[in-house]
Chain A
Amino acid sequence: MKQLFLILILALILPAPALAEQVVAGLSRDEIAITTNFDGSEILIFGAVRREAPIPRSGPLEVIITVEGPDRPVTVRRKDRRFGIWINTDAAEVDEAPTFYAVSTTAPLRDVLSDTNDLRHRISIRRAIRAVGSGVSDQPSFTRALIRIREENGLYQLNEGAVNLRDDTLFDTSVRLPANLVEGSYRTRIFLTRNRQIIAAYDTVIAVRKVGLERLIYNLAHERPLIYGILSLVIAIAAGWLASAVFRYIRA
């Protein structure tokens, strides 16, 4: 399935002569487990450019790597002063925003990618968010706020120059994933560009999921909330009783 998808993408987006250069890539891990002591993770993305012809001389080769978490709708709220206190007054819906998005490049993004290509492949952070008018007059400022807040939390990253490219052939970068990741498939895309035009692309997926105790608790809480509620009461009472028993034992 993945292979079929890849072939399809290659067939669709690549102009015929560009097949002269292809991406071969790998990831340090294709699955990330959120465990009890999960504190973020780092993935290493590396690869090479395969050629059947000498290196073309038309402009330098650049690499763009994106990692994208599952899309979710988001409500962005804005505070305003009412009756002397700051309260949420306006809200705007963003129909689809990736819960995580990182763009890493070999050089400043605007130097390596044309606007048309950006628009078509939704590569820059601004393009990755889909906000169709939701009736708010200044939707752009809400979308900008979404990007700003997520950038501060390390959820949206623009790492210009973070991709190392050696001899126009080998490239690698590492992407830092923060602790508050949403479960799901993280799509990883690699683009090769020359003269701001995409000449090759590669697509793969990293699975991020809660495992072990984390998974058990989360699933129970959402699928059997009543049992979970009763269980958390029982566990809390038992833990409290145990802690005081241990304390009494130590003092005795």
Chain B
Amino acid sequence: MQIYLPIAEVSVNAFLLLGLGGLVGVLSGMFGVGGGFLMTPLLFFIGIPPAVAVATEANQIVASSFSGVLAHLKRKTVDLKMGTVLLIGGLVGAAAGVQVFAILTALGQVDLLVRLCYVVFLGLIGGLMFIESLRAIRRARAAGDAPVPRRKHRGWIHALPFKMRFRTSGLYISVIPPLLVGLLVGVLAAIMGVGGGFIMVPAMIYLLGMPTKVVVGTSLFQIIFVTGFATLLHATTNYTVDMVLAVLLLVGGVIGAQIGTRIGVKMKAEQLRILLAIMVLAVCGRLALDLLLEPAELYSLGSGGSH
């Protein structure tokens, strides 16, 4: 069944969209990741304009993270104070990101920016995950004498000014590092259409030293507000949020996530992570090839009127 997307202005098969949403949903349920970083490139591949894909994906992330945040708030595993500090950074970052996006759209370079960001981040994260999970598997085989992972030295963070007490996390640290982490995640949300959990969660654990049990809830709390804000900004500056596309992807995604969660519990963590790493690297490779190989059509069309 073909469906005409009113904002993207293309006609796509509705079941393809539901299926894509479902597939990414299964993966995000299995691996416990947001899935935005897989969905947005997949939308490029099926011919959705990158600007629409990014803005719509931001919209979808708000919706798919919503129930998660409610659950964490109920369990009181959200550090609201830390979340708010991260959020302030995130809002500033998202506003800057959307402006950069609008300027580059006018220059015709937004495609390049989005693709480059994806290649760099997917390559980095996929590579790290791959190496890390290979090590974990080897360690499990060697058995027994696994060295206890030591916390990173955080001396320089304690030397920074503007210290604040975060009771839920049991921390007394400067607000500068969380503001910067939030800022980076906000920029990524606006430019790449991702929640940014894959950057924020490791940063919270290793950089800020937050206890693991509040990390996921707090990052989700920040993500829904930042991606929500990015959605509104995209809708008002670039007119690129496609409501119909978002709802279709979401319905598929929610159902897929439920199935994925059930598959996930039956598999070993290291196997899961290595699978995810391979998938991330495959998407990264495909995007990189598009940039590196000579395209079949050197010319492209954009809406005119820049003069």
Chain A residues packing against B (C-beta within 8 Å): 34-40, 72-81, 84-88, 91, 93-95, 142, 145-146, 148-150, 179-180, 210, 213-214, 217-218, 221-222, 225-226, 228-233, 235-237, 239-241, 243-244, 247
Contact = CB atoms under 8 A, between A and B. Distances in A.
Interface string B1-34: 1111011011100000000000000000000000
Contacts of A145: 297-299
Nearest to B113: A87
A93 B302 CA distance: 10
18 contacts: A35-B4, A37-B2, A72-B303, A73-B304, A77-B301, A77-B302, A78-B298, A88-B112, A146-B299, A148-B299, A180-B9, A214-B6, A229-B241, A233-B232, A236-B243, A240-B63, A241-B67, A244-B254
Contacts of B244: 36, 217
Contacts of B7: 217-218, 221
Interface stretch (B76-84, B158-166, B187-195, B288-296): B288-296
Contacts of A225: 235-236, 239
Interface stretch (B86-94, B131-139, B208-216, B245-253): B245-253
Contacts of A94: 304
A80 B291 CA distance: 11
A182 B300 CA distance: 18
B258 interface: yes
Contact of B302 (A75, A95, A235): A75
A86 B251 CA distance: 36
Nearest to B290: A86
B175 to A, nearest CB: 28
Contacts of B250: 236, 239-240, 243
A149 B303 CA distance: 14
Contacts of B241: 221, 228-229, 232
B124 to A, nearest CB: 17
A201 to B, nearest CB: 30
B217 interface: no
A244 B116 CA distance: 35
A73 B304 CA distance: 5
Given A74-B303, A149-B299, A239-B251, A91 B108 contact: yes
Interface in B101-130: 108-109, 111-112, 116
A221 B108 CA distance: 22
Given A77-B299, A180-B11, A240-B64, A218 B109 contact: no
| Residue among A40, A88, A213 having the largest count of chain B Cβ atoms under 10 Å | A88
A137 B60 CA distance: 44
The 6 closest A-B pairs by CB, nearest first: A73-B304, A229-B235, A179-B11, A145-B299, A236-B63, A243-B254
Interface string B250-289: 1101110010000000000000000000000000000000
Given A94-B304, A239-B251, A243-B251, A218 B6 contact: yes
Contacts of A244: 67, 254, 258
B62 interface: yes
B204 to A, nearest CB: 25
Contacts of B239: 221-222, 225
B297 A231 contact: no
B109 A37 contact: no
Contact of A75 (B251, B291, B292, B304): B304
Contacts of B109: 87-88
Given A81-B294, A146-B301, A236-B60, A226 B1 contact: no
B10 A229 contact: no
B232 A149 contact: no
B275 to A, nearest CB: 24
Contact of B254 (A35, A73, A240): A240
A84 B292 contact: yes
A230 B243 contact: no
| Residue among B6, B112, B251, B293 having the largest count of chain A Cβ atoms under 10 Å | B6
Contact of A79 (B235, B298, B303): B298
B301 A75 contact: yes
A180 B10 contact: yes
A185 to B, nearest CB: 18
Given A235-B247, A236-B63, A240-B250, A226 B255 contact: no
A221 to B, nearest CB: 6
Contacts of A36: 3-4, 244
Nearest to B70: A241
